Chain A
Amino acid sequence: MNLLDIRNLSIKLLSAQTPILAVDRVSLTMKEGEVRGLVGESGSGKSLLAQAIVGVLDDKWQVDADRFHWRGIDLMRLSIDERKAIISKDVAMIFQEPMACLDPTTTIGEQLEEAVADDQLTGYFWQKKQQRTLAAANLLHKVGIKHHEVCIKSYPHQLTEALCQRVMIAMALARRPLLLIADEPTAAMESTNQGQIFRLLASLNQLKNMSILLISHDLENVTHWTNTITVMYSGQFVEAGTTQHIFNQPYHPYTRALVDSSPKANMQIPKKSRLMTLPGSIPILQHLPIGCRLGPRCPKAQKACVEAPKVKNYHGHQVSCHYSLKGSY
């Protein structure tokens, strides 16, 4: 059974004039124990999608979906409070810029302790305080922080970014979630710290069978750590499939360009030649093209691309393009 099954999720920005469709009918499925990458350029609506799943978007945004199932429960039929209760119990999220996501005036220990759910504690209320402290220390050990006494007494500004991200992961683990959504967890981090965070996430996936939705703009890095990948562009679904398929045989011209644009160490390129890139840049929300939003930049675009393509499924490898590259392999 699918853990998370989202079909045609749209997110509208309610602005003064006409509402802007920031995310246009994106589908996403997660299986238990799966690590899925969600890849796209900055501004392609990945973070929006993640925040919509967790339900932390404010009332400027309106979320619609044809289907939004969590372990077989139809969340769209439930009231907001019931949905929030289910989601906050089983889904946790970590954000980019971990230091900004920790309350600057509260110590790490207090913030960790309040993340521990009440139903994990036993006994009377005077025993609970001690249990919470113990649980906080255990959580810090789980994410590889050995000196928990120092860490618990610190304020967020006294720790490094990587440590803060570990603390964020520890907080996310406090509710023993089935799904962890990691929104660019290593943005603005050194590569050694990046590796540590990714290894930690991978070990959590293997040891606790926790599913992870890894959001990133860096396709190459994501391929090391994920089983499956979903690609988005400008709020539209592009392609989804196993990591091998996406990386080696992408069907969509955009994914092809994304793979080609990442330079490799063994690449033979003549001096002063240009690296392969798509012309132009991602459209801003106020001027979205009609139909397939990649249209103006796409090397394969033809007349039919003014109509948004339907998603085609080739043995689990889904692609949304009129002129997919399937025949070229």
Chain B
Amino acid sequence: MLLFTLRRFNLFLFTMVLLTILSFSLSFLFPGEQITNISGKINASPESIELIALHYGKHESILSQYWIYLNHLFKGDWGLSMTSQLPILDEIYNHLPATIELTISALFIAMIVGIPIGFIAAINHRKKSDDLILSFAMIGYSIPIFWLGLLAILIFSIQLGWLPSAGQISLLYEIKQITGIQFIDILLSDSPYKWQAFQDASSHILLPSCVVALAPATIFIRLARTSMLNVLETHYIKAAMAKGLTFRQIIYRHAIRNAMVNVIRDVGLQFANLVTLAMVTEVIFSWPGIGRWLIESIYQRDYTAIQGGLLALSCFIFLVHIFTDFVYATLNPLAREKNRGSR
């Protein structure tokens, strides 16, 4: 297990190096002055530009410039946003938690709904319910998310009036930011309307996260179905049957865990896809997350924000990926250590 952890850590390190190289090179590739792009200080006087250039090691070799850039990153100096002139790190700190909330809740909805339905489809293989689930999955996968988001607002917010259509929480509730994750903040706050606020926040997150979850859920349905079908054809299921276990026991004790192993491995891959969907959904639902902020920055040619947001978002995706890898390793003893033969 230690070896596994070290290997994942190593992978994380190298990916971070590559990402920072990309973000560093973006400051050269974007139009305009490189110094302005990297520091975000527009309208600076020639003297102060010279000072900033010195600060970023502009007169040294490209390698030492990169090294200085890395130092800045680690010190928390990610430059200023070109539009708001606020530090990028503060902006990310303000926006990323909302996205984390949205994506994680969407991921859980997608998994909790998608995986069991996929298993049910596999167990009823070649029956009507299997075909029904598959066609539902196909339709769900092919619906464009911006259309679905607008449709959901139209039906659930405007016509039925069940759920709010925009924002993270009603403006009535004032929640002090402690951790950034709103649900935790609500629980930590000592407001007398704590539970009402909690309810309100949950009703706000429900619609966008369901919209984000639909496409990944359909992918999980298909992943879980194929994985369960494969497991049901293995020898150990046949052996368990010969052992005299009932079908229910076989499914619960052997089939589900083995099928989950294969599904979990792909959850990390699907998460990047899910974040992309969440960015679009944030715009539709005016969710104050990093996706909306990033898209607005692209519209406003805020190059510093694009670099910083890219770095933060991909870092988050990668951390989730590694986390699912660990879940995979705990479920699957084969992944934890090398095989006897390969040593």
Contacts and interface: CB of A to CB of B under 8 A. Distances in A.
Interface stretch (B48-56, B217-225, B241-249): B241-249
B59 interface: no
A95 B241 CA distance: 12
B340 A158 contact: yes
Contact of A97 (B235, B261, B331): B235
Contacts of B253: 103, 106, 114
A294 to B, nearest CB: 30
B242 A106 contact: no
Contacts, number: 68
A199 interface: no
A222 B339 CA distance: 33
Contacts of B239: 93, 95, 101-102, 168
B236 A100 contact: yes
A88 interface: yes
B244 A104 contact: no
Contacts of A168: 239
B94 to A, nearest CB: 42
Interface in B250-269: 253-254, 257-258, 261
Contact of B240 (A103, A117, A157): A103
B83 interface: no
A21 interface: no
Nearest to A57: B238
A100 B240 CA distance: 12
A89 interface: yes
B243 A115 contact: yes
A155 interface: yes
Interface in A66-97: 88-89, 92-93, 95, 97
Nearest to B253: A114
B329 to A, nearest CB: 11
Contacts of A92: 242-243
Given A104-B333, A117-B244, A95 B238 contact: yes
A50 B15 CA distance: 53
B236 A102 contact: yes
A159 B339 CA distance: 11
Interface residues of B, number: 23
Contacts of B244: 88-89, 115, 117, 175
Interface in A148-177: 155, 157-158, 168, 171-172, 174-175
A65 to B, nearest CB: 19
Contacts of A97: 235
Contacts of A114: 243, 245, 249, 253
A104 B245 contact: no
Given A95-B238, A106-B257, A157 B333 contact: yes
B235 A101 contact: yes
A200 interface: no
A122 interface: no
Contact of A105 (B243, B258, B340): B258
A114 B254 CA distance: 11
B8 to A, nearest CB: 20
A56 interface: yes
Nearest to B336: A155
A54 interface: yes
Contacts of A175: 243-244
A175 B238 CA distance: 17
Nearest to B247: A84
B242 A100 contact: no
A267 to B, nearest CB: 37
Interface string A7-41: 00000000000000000000000000000000000
A125 B323 CA distance: 37
A105 B340 CA distance: 16
Nearest to A90: B244
Given A157-B334, A157-B339, A105 B257 contact: yes
A105 B245 contact: no
Contacts of B238: 51, 56, 95, 101
Contacts of B324: none
A94 to B, nearest CB: 8
B305 to A, nearest CB: 45
Interface in A270-307: none
Interface in B306-343: 331-334, 339-340
Interface in A128-161: 155, 157-158
Given A88-B242, A104-B236, A114-B253, 9 more contacts: A88-B244, A92-B243, A95-B239, A100-B235, A101-B235, A103-B253, A103-B258, A105-B333, A172-B243
20 contacts: A88-B242, A92-B243, A93-B242, A95-B235, A100-B235, A101-B235, A102-B236, A102-B239, A103-B236, A103-B258, A105-B331, A106-B257, A114-B243, A155-B333, A157-B334, A157-B339, A157-B340, A168-B239, A171-B243, A172-B243
Interface of B: 234-236, 238-245, 249, 253-254, 257-258, 261, 331-334, 339-340
